[in-house]
Amino acid sequence: MMLCNPCLKESMILPQPRNTTIKGPYTNIGFEFDSKTNDYKCVAIWFDDEDYAFEVYTVGSDSWREINMSQDVIVGIMGAKLQDGLCWNGVCYWFVVFDDTYENVLTFNVSNEEFDLIRDLPVGELLVSDDRPHLSVWNDSLVLCWRDTDNNLCISTMDGTKNVQLPTLDSHFRVLPFSKNDDFLIKFWRDYGTQTQFVSCNFPRGISMIFYVLARNVAAFFECFYVKSLVSIKRRGEVD
């Protein structure tokens, strides 16, 4: 895993975690800034049908350490897959998916290093992969995005108090977590390796800008997290 602060022109590659026994299908990771300690943290999660491990890396200490998860949360994720990771405002989120059904959201608070589950999603039906569910950010609030049976893009705050719809979608889409003053940046594409369309949209005013990117040979699976911070990622005591 690599950390990069382009504003400060800094980068670093993290050391390997301590876990060497539990691999699972893949490692779930998260990256956020801990405002209480003024430091960056990475969390790594491994689990399979029988075992699990959780570790946190702190940039300031340059080390991984094991952490715990409460038994009720462990029961809520065992046998599932974690998908669509999003880290925002000091918390990391992942969908908990059982047999293609998106049931809960696993959370990790980087300050107190505690896991929890969001069990009630703001949608009146079970979500599956064909609904394109994913998490994003809308005006500093976590939101759930999905496609309904009428092919509309639906966006709702997690408490269900605010929601909008964008009609007629016949392609893949993702609401990127860069929203301000009701502006959304939405990515549309039909197949991996084909032309990608980005739409800057303000729902009260309508679509404001469209631009295209010819994306070919782009990896379909990756983890990428953005944190708005100018705090250095250099380890304590490290000099240029």
State the residue range of the domain holding 44.
1-124
Q: Residues 194, 215: one domain?
A: yes
Who's near 209: CB < 8 A, 6+ residues apart?
A: 199, 200
Tens-digit pLDDT profile for residues 163-192:
888 775 667 788 888 777 778 888 877 766
Q: Residues 118, 8: one domain?
A: yes
Q: 117: domain CATH number?
A: 2.40.128
- Highest mean pLDDT pick, 57-71, 115-129, 150-164, 213-227: 57-71
Model-level pTM greater than 0.85?
no
Q: Residues 32, 66: one domain?
A: yes
**236 located within any domain:** no
Q: Residues 71, 120: one domain?
A: yes
Q: Residues 168, 79: one domain?
A: no
Listed residues 107, 124, 141: the one ending a domain: 124
- Looking at the structure of the chain, the number of domains it has is 2
Q: Residues 145, 111: one domain?
A: no
Q: Residues 139, 67: one domain?
A: no
Mean pLDDT across the stretch 89-93? 93
Answer yes or no: is pLDDT of 205 > 60: yes
Q: Provide the pLDDT for residue 222.
A: 46
C-alpha–C-alpha distance, residues 39 and 167, integer Å? 42
Top-confidence residue, 72 or 201: 72
C-alpha–C-alpha distance, residues 152 and 146, integer Å? 8
Q: Provide the pLDDT for residue 227.
A: 66
Phi, psi (5° rounding) for residue 128?
-125, 175
Listed residues 94, 124, 154: the one ending a domain: 124
> Is residue 226 very low, low, confident or very high in pLDDT (cuts 50, 70, 90)?
low
Answer yes or no: is pLDDT of 92 > 90: yes
Q: Provide the pLDDT for residue 14.
A: 87
